[in-house]
Amino acid sequence: MRFFYILVFLLPSIIMCQNDLNYFSKLTEEEKNIIIYKGTEPPFSGEYNNHFEEGVYCCKACGSELFKSSHKFKSSCGWPSFDDEIEGSILRKKDYSLGMSRTEIICSKCSGHLGHVFIGEHLTKMNLRHCVNSTSLIFKPK
């Protein structure tokens, strides 16, 4: 029973501490607020909101590739929007904060908060919008 307790309750904390040492220690306070504490940057304020160069958007914390520039589209929502992701790069978690049900997206490598995903808005053929904080991203040009 003790092993089960350790596995279920302590292991995620231990992993997060390891990630913090490896990935999150180099982040600024603003980046930590969004990536670790699941904050949100103000709409239309992020450097990648209207950014459409060719390349790859990566996790600011660990550098994992998340989105190709071909996935990005102009949604006019105030945050960078992507209608697809690089396979295996993102995990989804139910988010009941702010009194509503949403789906949070996190980096599959470091569990850093990226934003939320929305389905059914009919903005692209994929009918999917990954609404991402610019602060969670770093861009690598092609």
pLDDT tens per residue, range 38-68 = 999 999 999 999 999 999 999 999 999 999 9
Residues counted in the chain:
142
Question: Residue 101 gets which letter from DSSP?
Answer: -
CA distance 57 to 64: 9
Phi and psi dihedrals of 13, rounded to 5? -65, -40
If one counts the domains in the chain, the total is 1
Inter-residue contact 69 to 53 (CB < 8 Å)? yes
Short-list 42, 38, 53, 54, CA closest to 136: 38
pLDDT band at 8 (very low <50, low <70, confident <90, very high): very low
Question: So what's the pLDDT on residue 22?
Answer: 76
What's the pLDDT score for residue 6? 46
| 4, pLDDT greater than 90 | no
| Residue pLDDT, tens place only, 12-22 | 554 554 454 57
User: Is this prediction's pTM over 0.85?
Assistant: no
**Catalytic residue at 17?**
no
Residue 132 sits in a domain whose CATH number is 2.170.150.20
Q: Which tens digit of pLDDT belongs to each residue from 15-44?
A: 554 454 578 889 999 999 999 999 999 999
User: In which order are the strands placed within the sheet that holds 137-141?
Assistant: 65-68, 55-59, 137-141
Residue 10 has pLDDT above 60, yes or no: no
| Enclosing domain of residue 24 | 2-141
